[in-house]
Structure 1
């Protein structure tokens, strides 16, 4: 493979990766903790919303609510990472999964 062809392939992959990144910004995932707390994040893992069930809020046990929030946030971020890897892999093949972790 000559250098010019390799450069064109790299540019094509870069354009595809940018398209996937734009798409991920519009996609959402929901992380949950015991069904009491839900956290919505976009495909980049940025938190967009938090929903609490009333029974999750016990003023005498704020530590439990903090734990539920943490679990739900981590769940949402993990799902966003998996979504990113899946979308990158689908669009770019083997190189996509490598780029997914870097972008």
Structure 2
């Protein structure tokens, strides 16, 4: 493989990586707990962008249940986000002819 071809492929990969990072930043996932009583929204970076709590959960003597449901909804959203990022990464890798399972640096 000649050097110029390798440089061109490296440049294409860099461009695809930037494109993937932009796509990841735009992702939005929702995690749900308590059969929909708590919903957490995260962006592709894992930052919480929204929280919905059913008013029936807002009781002074049940704060521990509410806390557990918020954590469960957040973890659900995080897992969904990680799966989406992995799917986008695999799509990128397959289009570039790179080995399956190769980890990217983010």
The normalised TM-score by structure 2 is: 0.82
Displacement of 1:73 in angstroms is 0.7
Residue 96 and residue 7 in structure 1: after superposition, are their counterparts in 2 closer, same or farther (change >3 A)?
A: farther
Give the alignment of 1:59-70 within 5 angstroms: 59-70=60-71
* Structure 1 spans left out of the alignment, 5+ residues: none
Closer, same or farther in 2 for the Cα pair 1:48/1:96, shift >3 Å? farther
Partner SS state of residue 18, structure 1: helix
Cα deviations across residues 38-84 of structure 1 (Å, max 9, x unaligned)?
01111222211011111122211211111001111111111111111
Paired residues, number = 101
Q: 5 Å matches for 1:7-26?
A: 7-26=7-26
| Structure of greater Rg | 2
TM-score, normalised relative to structure 1: 0.84
Q: Name the residue aligned to 1:86.
A: 87
Q: CA deviation at 1:91?
A: 2.1
| More helix by percentage | 1
* RMSD value, Cα: 1.9
Gaps of 5+ in 2: none
1:31 aligns with 2:4: no
